């Protein structure tokens, strides 16, 4: 893993939400440093309010920040299609577009005009997320899990360097959640893409991540661990219990 090129480099990232200019607010992130290799799948755990989401939003370019964020060696401060965000909210795909148009729209913006080509791409990615046949449906006709699948397909189709996922499965029922975890793991093995996956669920972090980070207050990285368990990982895998306890205790502290 270590000899792969570095796709994301975060240096001295500090973020303060300054609502009133006079008050010296506490920083939500303070001097955060992180490096991510190409094709890595990074899971981030941490208690609420530790700054996980804020870090993700800084990377996505939705927030201003102090410090430096380099994507593929280039400093970034604005949103861009090399980093695509998948949110927790089911209603992130546009309700006024059909499923396939939702996937095709950003591709059109990127300059793909050929209709057959667009159709081929949207079909390909819908198949990848097991949603073949929903092309002409509108989002309100889909279940929450299906909407998240569309959001993932939409993100993948744009061929970003990094996909930023902010608890995308948190609002799903347990069965759908397990299914989507397996699908995402499978997809992440095939695609040439780097993933940052925020979750509150330790099982999810272990099942998905090549590398798992536990964050504490102000974005301090408490644990940064390569996931060495043999895949596929289930709660019955050797070493799973120890790892679970390690992360659980780190979050609770």
Partner 1 sequence: MKKQKVDVSGLIVKIIFVIAVLILWEVVARANLFGSRSRLIFPTIGDVLQAFVNNFKTGYAGSSFWVYIMNSMKLLVLGLFIGIVLAFLFSGLSIVSKTFHSIYNLVVSVFDLLPGVALLPVVIVICGVTPGVIVFLVVHAVIWPMSRSVLDGFLAVPKIYVESGLNMGLSGFSLLTGVYIPAATSYIVSGLKVGWARAWRGLLSAEMIFGLANCPGIGLYINQMRTNMKNAEMYATLIVIIIIGVVVQYGILAPIEKCTVKRWGMSK
Using an 8 Å Cβ cutoff, are 14 and 219 in contact? no
Q: How far is 208 from 169, CA to CA, in rounded Å?
A: 12
Interface with partner 1 by CB under 8 A: which range of 28-36, 66-74, 86-94, 185-193?
86-94
Per rule CB under 8 A, count of chain residues that contact partner 1 = 26
Residue number with CB closer to partner 1 (76 or 227): 76
Binding mask 153-172 for partner 1 (x = CB under 8 A): -----x--------------
| Segment 47 to 76, residues that bind partner 1, using CB under 8 A | 60-62
**Which residue from 80, 124, 191, 216 is in contact with partner 1, where contact means CB under 8 A?**
80
> Out of 139, 168, 209, 219, which residue is the one contacting partner 1 (CB under 8 A)?
139
| Residue 17 within binding range of partner 1, rule CB under 8 A | no
The answer to the question of residue 240 lying near partner 1 (CB under 8 A) is: no
Sign (positive or negative) of CA dihedral 84, 88, 90, 91: negative
Of residues 139 and 145, the one with the C-beta less far from partner 1: 139
Closest approach, Cβ 167 to partner 1, in A, equals 13
Both tokens of residue 174? Answer: 């347990």
Question: Exactly one of 31, 66, 89, 183 binds partner 1 (CB under 8 A); which one?
Answer: 89
Strand stretches in 29-139, DSSP E: 29-37, 41-45, 66-71, 74-75, 83-86
Q: Residue 4 contacts by C-beta under 8 Å, 6 or more apart in sequence?
A: 37, 38, 39, 40
- Report whether 135 contacts 97 (CB < 8 A): no
Stretch of residues binding partner 1 (CB under 8 A), selected from 91-99, 113-121, 128-136, 204-212: 91-99
Tokens 């965000």, located at residue: 85
For partner 1, give the closer residue by CB, 17 or 94. 94
Q: By C-alpha distance, which of 253, 251, 252, 228 is closest to 45? A: 251
Q: Which position among 1, 25, 49, 95 is part of the footprint of partner 1 (CB under 8 A)? A: 95
Task: Name residues whose C-beta falls within 8 Å of residue 188's C-beta, 6 or more positions apart in sequence.
Answer: 41, 195, 208
Helix (H) or strand (E) run with residue 149 in it: helix 144-157
Residues that bind partner 1 (CB under 8 A): 60-62, 79-81, 83-85, 87, 89, 91-96, 105-106, 109-110, 138-141, 158
């Amino acid at each position: 893993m270590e000899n792969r090129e570095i796709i994301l480099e975060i240096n001295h990232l500090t973020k303060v939400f300054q609502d009133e200019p006079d008050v010296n607010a506490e920083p939500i992130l303070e001097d955060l440093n992180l490096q991510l290799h190409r094709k890595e799948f990074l899971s981030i755990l941490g208690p609420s309010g530790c700054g996980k989401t804020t870090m993700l939003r800084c990377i996505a370019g939705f927030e201003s920040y102090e410090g430096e964020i380099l994507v593929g060696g280039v400093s970034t401060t604005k949103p861009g299609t090399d980093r695509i965000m998948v949110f927790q909210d089911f209603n992130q795909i546009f309700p006024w577009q059909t499923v396939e148009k939702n996937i095709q729209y950003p591709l059109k913006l990127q300059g793909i005009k050929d209709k057959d080509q667009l159709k081929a791409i949207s079909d390909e990615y819908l198949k990848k997320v097991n949603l073949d046949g929903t092309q002409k449906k509108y989002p309100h006709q889909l279940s929450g899990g299906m909407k998240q699948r569309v959001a993932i397909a939409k993100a993948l189709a744009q061929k970003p360097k990094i996909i930023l996922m902010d608890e995308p499965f948190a609002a799903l029922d347990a069965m759908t959640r397990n299914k989507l975890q397996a699908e995402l793991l499978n997809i992440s093995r095939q695609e040439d893409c780097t993933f940052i996956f925020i979750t509150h669920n330790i099982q999810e972090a272990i099942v998905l991540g090549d590398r798992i980070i536990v964050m504490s207050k102000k974005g301090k990285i408490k644990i940064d661990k390569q996931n060495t368990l043999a895949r596929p990982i289930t709660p019955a895998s050797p070493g799973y219990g120890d790892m679970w306890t390690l992360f659980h205790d780190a979050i609770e502290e």
